[in-house]
Amino acid sequence: HAIKHGVAALIYQHWLNIPHLPKVDLSVWANVDKQLNIIHRFLGPETDRVFQALEANKIGFVVLKGYALSELIYDKPHTRPRTDIDIIIDTTSSSSLMEVFQNLGFSNPRGWQPKKIIDQFSFTKDIAKGIKLNFDVHLSITNDKALQHLITYVDLVTTASLHESHFPRLIDKPHALIH
């Protein structure tokens, strides 16, 4: 269940901090932790390239959800598995968004772009065998039209956390909890 729900590496890392660890076979847990760490190391440089390209093309963005939580809260970011990286962008600077992702080798996994039902774009790129980098680029905090005005991009960028060791703006903890 820990593997299924994405907490195996986190549990393993906490087990390692128990001073008098009982004799337990931790090999399965260690393997999950190792695999997630390897995946994290593959995705990190490519993720940084995306963030740098968005910045270079003057596309304002704030990182949401799992990536932000892994960087803000977790001692070791790889212990928070990611299926995708969610960002919200400043729609006033988004005209070159598709071109930026295409130039970096990303494609649209759907093959089509919904215009009326959701306010987001999806991009995917194969990084290595069995490892994909997926981005969900949101134009608003939610697809629910009645709620979109409650937390805007301006609200998020104004309160975003800038880590000294990390380039992108990360959603702040209060907005992350609400979101």
**Digit-coded pLDDT (tens) for 45-85:** 999 999 999 999 999 999 998 888 888 888 888 888 777 99
What's the confidence (pLDDT) of residue 166? 59
Residue holding tokens 């128990």? Answer: 18
Q: Would the pLDDT of 6 be above 70?
A: yes
Would you state the structure tokens that stand for residue 121, as one six-digit string?
Answer: 């774009």
Q: Tell me the per-residue pLDDT of 79-98, one tens digit each, with 9 for 90 and over.
A: 887 779 999 999 887 778 88
87 strand-pairing partners:
63, 137
For residues 158-165, average pLDDT: 74
What's the confidence (pLDDT) of residue 30? 93
Could you tell me the pLDDT band of residue 4, with boundaries at 50, 70 and 90? confident
Could you tell me the pLDDT band of residue 142, with boundaries at 50, 70 and 90? confident
Average predicted confidence (pLDDT) for the chain: 86
DSSP-based three-state secondary structure for 42? helix
Helix (H) or strand (E) holding 109: none
What's the confidence (pLDDT) of residue 178? 80
Residue 111 Rama label (left phi>0; alpha psi -120 to 50; beta):
left
Kindly state the DSSP code that residue 130 receives in the 8-state scheme. Answer: T
DSSP-based three-state secondary structure for 39? helix
- Cβ-in-10-Å burial (0-12, 13-18, 19+) of 176 comes to middle
What's the confidence (pLDDT) of residue 70? 84
What's the confidence (pLDDT) of residue 115? 59
What's the confidence (pLDDT) of residue 112? 61
For residues 110-131, average pLDDT: 78
For residues 153-158, average pLDDT: 91
**Residue 106, φ and ψ in degrees, nearest 5:** -90, 155
Q: Would the pLDDT of 99 be above 70?
A: yes
Give whole-number Cα distances, 151 to 92, 97, 113, 118, 121, in Å. Answer: 17, 22, 24, 16, 19
Q: Would the pLDDT of 23 be above 90?
A: no
What's the confidence (pLDDT) of residue 102? 93
Q: Tell me the per-residue pLDDT of 24-43, one tens digit each, with 9 for 90 and over.
A: 888 999 999 999 999 889 89
